[in-house]
Amino acid sequence: MARHTFATTVTLSNGVPIETVSKLLGHTKIASTQIYARVIEKKVSEDMQLLKDKIETPKAILTIVK
């Protein structure tokens, strides 16, 4: 249970890449880490908002320049 909590709540939810989590857990394959790491809805929502912000930023700058 501690490995699941660490992988999901402590690391992935705070933006640590799964490759880093894999190393921290001592795994040689990402597939092993994925067993312990669960993507929670909050993280998906936050990641999608970041993507949206990145996509919209250039549009806002172009609008100001025109």
d(CA 55, CA 40): 23
Domain ranges of the chain: 2-65
pTM beyond 0.95: no
Q: What is the mean pLDDT of residues 39-53?
A: 86
- Residue 39 confidence (pLDDT) above 80: no
Instruction: Specify whether the CB–CB gap between 14 and 47 falls below 8 A.
Output: no
- Structure token pair of residue 57: 């930023």
